[in-house]
Amino acid sequence: MTPGRVVFVGCGPGAADLLTLRAARAIAAADIVIWGRSLLVREAVDAHASPGAEVIAWPPATMEDVLRAYDRARAEGLVVARLKSGDPGTFGLMDEELAAARERGLAIDIVPGVSALGAAAAALGTELTRGGPLELSRPDGGAVTFALFMPGRDPERELRARGLGGDTPCAILHRLSWPGELVVRCRLDALTEQLADLGLDGKTLIVAGAALEP
Ligand SMILES: C[S@@+](CC[C@H](N)C(=O)[O-])C[C@H]1O[C@@H](n2cnc3c(N)ncnc32)[C@H](O)[C@@H]1O
């Protein structure tokens, strides 16, 4: 029996055609496909999963269900494709599952994907590292562009705490590459109000700083 394997597959920001060839092949080769309903478009799964594969959607699946699938992978020598939005290496929240796979002696592969960052740059028609570095979460100064993933309750405060002034250009990027993609530009001092007006769900990235300067 071949040893079990978990492949963490970066599936891009949502659009089925932003899946890489390697990702498509990894999904097609899997006995079990586990995908995150909130961040991935179902067609990406349907188009590539083998007809005989077991497809598990999270939610309603829980971490216990995922761990049960890993147990079966070990016991039966199965391949699990664990689909992640964007690139698994950028806020892929993989730690717990990587540890669980390693504890079970499963082989691990990671397939990189197109991050929401890349989709944001494309939607904005710019380079996010323009004029200086890109900071994903750490405080910094100078010509910096910040990208806030999973923005919390008060992104304006978070960005001001990193030294950005009220006139800093910002963009609210929602459902990048999905139908209904939304790009709203505003100054930092209008960010809270804009977000309240838009009332968006979780698929939102906020970019602020140098890359958005005219
Ligand atoms: C758990 S992180 C996953 C990031 C992912 N690994 C990546 O590389 O894009 C989820 C956050 O990514 C951002 N995100 C992912 N896909 C997005 C999309 N299509 N549009 C806007 N933001 C997205 C949002 O900030 C969301 O809260």
- Residue 4 is classified by DSSP as P
Q: Which of 19, 35, 149 should be mutated for ligand 1, with most atoms under 8 A from CB?
A: 149
Q: In angstroms, what is the span from residue 142 Cα to ligand 1's centroid?
A: 26
Q: Which of 148, 204, 206, 207 should be mutated for ligand 1, with most atoms under 8 A from CB?
A: 204
Could you report the per-residue pLDDT of 152-185, keeping only the tens digit for each?
Answer: 889 999 999 988 999 999 999 999 998 889 999 9
Residue 42: what pLDDT? 77
Q: d(Cα 7, Cα 17) in Å, to the nearest integer?
A: 20
Could you report the per-residue pLDDT of 68-99, keeping only the tens digit for each?
Answer: 999 999 999 999 999 999 999 999 999 999 99
Cβ neighbours around 118 below 10 Å, total = 19
Could you report the per-residue pLDDT of 4-59, keeping only the tens digit for each?
Answer: 999 999 999 988 899 999 999 999 999 999 998 776 667 778 889 999 999 999 88
CA 148 to chain centre: 12
Q: d(Cα 211, Cα 2) in Å, to the nearest integer?
A: 48
Q: In angstroms, what is the span from residue 76 Cα to ligand 1's centroid?
A: 33
The protein residue whose alpha carbon is closest to atom 15 in ligand 1 is: 116
| Residue pointed to by tokens 């659009």 | 15
Ligand 1 proximal residues by C-beta, below 6 Å: 13-14, 39, 84-87, 90-93, 115-116, 149-150, 173-178, 202-205
Q: In angstroms, what is the span from residue 87 Cα to ligand 1's centroid?
A: 9
The protein residue whose alpha carbon is closest to atom 23 in ligand 1 is: 203
Could you report the per-residue pLDDT of 47-56, keeping only the tens digit for each?
Answer: 899 999 999 9
The protein residue whose alpha carbon is closest to atom 4 in ligand 1 is: 91
Beta bridge partners of residue 8, listed in sequence order: 82, 110
CA 14 to chain centre: 9
Residue 141 clears pLDDT 60, i.e. is over it: no
